[in-house]
Amino acid sequence: MPGSSPGGAQVPRHGEIPSGRVAKSHHLMWRISIKQRRLLGGPQSSATRGQGTPSGERAQIVHSAFGTMQLSSAPDTDTLSPICPLDLLAARPLAMTSDAEVVATVQQARRAQQAWRELSIDERAERLRQAAKRMLARRDELLVSLREEIGKVDAEAMFNETLGPLDAVNAWTRVIKEHGSRERVSLNPINFPGKSAWIDLVPRGVIGVIAPWNYPVAGLYRAVFPALLLGNAVVLKPSEYAPRSSGWFIDVLKSVLNEGLPEGLVATVQGDGRTGQALLAAGIDACVFTGSPTIGRTVQRRCAELGIVCSIETGGKDAAIILDDCDLERTVAGVTAWTLGNAGQACGAIEIAYVTPGIADELVARLARVFRRLRVAPAARGETDVAPLANRRQFDLVLAHIADAQKKGATLVCGGRPTGVGLFIEPTILDHCTADMDVVRDETFGPVLAIVRVEGVSEGIAAVNRSRYGLGASIWTRDVDRATRLAERLDVGVVVVNNHALTGAMPALPWSGTRETGTGIANSHHALLTFARPKTVLIDRSDKPELYWPPYDRGLVELGDILCDVQRGVLGRAWKLPLLLRERMSRLTSFFREAVR
């Protein structure tokens, strides 16, 4: 599932394997060599002609544990060649990182982390602020990369990717200073005389991040920044669809963080699913991953085998529940933004609208008018409203969902077709959708809104709670008090009233879900244990032995027996406690004094 972007839109998704009809958008389209096909040796489909394959060249699709790869009879080199979704032209090939290089990178990161963890939180935060300011200054480089790799619209890229790093560093610094500093623990002086204790959060070491393609920079803020602030090193495997955009982020960090420290604190390893496997096996201490439930479970099992802490976010099918009393103008604007932002390629995008009868016809009509007016084509800066799909696999999946809905009785209100340029699809509204349609039950991840008409709000809430996924939902109504009560009935990780998944941009608030969304938590102090482990320190200033230390006797057993009665409110023998305590401590003291003479 993609996650939510710290820029206010949605976030991550990585290479994934198909799950039934729902072949996820993170499957690889890259052309790689016959040599790699031999190395994989997995089940192969019959030869097909791939979108990214030169004319006349035959390709094969191979499914591995970490993704689906299109293998071509290209030159025998280990390279990635992303395809630009704006014009379908291949980008300059990028060398993949070998397994041996992945291991060496993790080892170098571990050496650098020892020096980094010795810096104070203030020193680490200041370096990250410098890096964030450098990113802001070099934003045009990133905008070009995002456009060429995944076709991101400049306005969305500016607000969701380039504008956020300094705010994210500052917000994470506040979270960690409040919740990540030494925690003093109050102990009962009667039960624990002479004792004091505290808890420190200790960096885990090297954090592996397997990155998303839909927000290839902003999607990294919620993992990379807290990991570094807590004193860890980070090794990033960018998505195969956006290797240079995520790599740019790490390169800018390097340009600041490497000053005066051993190299390797932050590093990039480039490649496909096998590079992800190699990273897990290279000795990292924790993994952050966002993807489909199928691949998420695979990663989770592998991390368990290796003893690696992991944070796994695995899917979203967010819905808006729209009530008759909503502010119609704002609701139309908000649903449009959260359905079509990043062409709907976000786990927190609105994919379904559950609409009550009194507003349904007018809402659909207004949304259709807005959808038809939006600009969907490559254009000058600031003159495109809806981005293309990032890759051919996602493009095909979206069209398949639209066709399935129409076959099963949905009304195509607008859109539903490719524009004929690149991987653009017209913004689409499907009305009268039902629970058996793919656009209702599976993650579409495209510029498509499924309208489900419900008799009342309870029917909409029940439908949300039956979904495979449980990331987020929104309620649109003028009655905020009622919405507050309804929010308690929604079995999802995030509920927003009169807006949608913008909480993903807020480091102080947790981003998590239920059911097949997974157990991972991003953002807030609840996420810190992915990057640090609690370490308890207890100091005992007592000069006497503990009463339960050996040697044992009948008096100690009787003492324990009376204490059990006292705890359950039976006080008949409580008068004996002072005597038994004095006798016990006298015996212990005498025993050990005699033993050391």
The pLDDT tens digits of the residues spanning 214-255 come to: 999 999 999 999 999 999 999 999 999 999 999 999 999 999
From 313, 351, 443, 516, active-site residue: 313
Report percent pLDDT > 90 for the chain: 80
Distance CA 387, CA 85 (A): 9
The pLDDT tens digits of the residues spanning 454-497 come to: 999 999 999 999 999 999 999 999 999 999 999 999 999 999 99
Residue 10: predicted pLDDT: 34
The pLDDT tens digits of the residues spanning 534-550 come to: 999 999 999 999 999 99
Distance CA 355, CA 296 (A): 32
CA 318, 18, 224, 246 torsion-angle sign? negative
Domain positions in the chain: 31-79, 105-183+193-314+526-536, 318-508, 544-595
- 520-550 b/e (C-beta count within 10 Å ≥ 16 → b): bbbbbbebbebbbbeeeeeeeeeeeeeeeee
If phi over 0 gives left and psi between -120 and 50 gives alpha, with beta otherwise, what is residue 48?
A: beta
Residue 310 is a catalytic residue: no
Report percent pLDDT > 70 for the chain: 87
Residue 347 is a catalytic residue: yes
- Say what the alpha-carbon torsion angle 9, 14, 18, 19 is, to the nearest 10 degrees: -60
Residues in a beta bridge with 472:
494
If phi over 0 gives left and psi between -120 and 50 gives alpha, with beta otherwise, what is residue 137?
A: alpha
Does the pLDDT at position 45 exceed 70?
no
From 287, 326, 347, 414, active-site residue: 347
Q: Architecture of domain 318-508 in CATH? A: 3-Layer(aba) Sandwich (3.40)
The pLDDT tens digits of the residues spanning 27-42 come to: 333 333 323 322 222 3
The pLDDT tens digits of the residues spanning 293-317 come to: 788 888 899 999 999 999 998 889 9
Distance CA 229, CA 174 (A): 11
**Could you tell me how many residues make up the chain?**
597
Does the pLDDT at position 24 exceed 70?
no
The answer to whether 78 and 33 have CB atoms below 8 angstroms apart is yes
The pLDDT mean for the chain works out to 88
Per the CATH hierarchy, to which homologous superfamily does domain 105-183+193-314+526-536 belong? Aldehyde Dehydrogenase; Chain A, domain 1 (3.40.605.10)
Distance CA 492, CA 466 (A): 11
Strand ranges inside 221-373, DSSP E: 233-237, 266-268, 286-290, 309-313, 318-322, 350-355
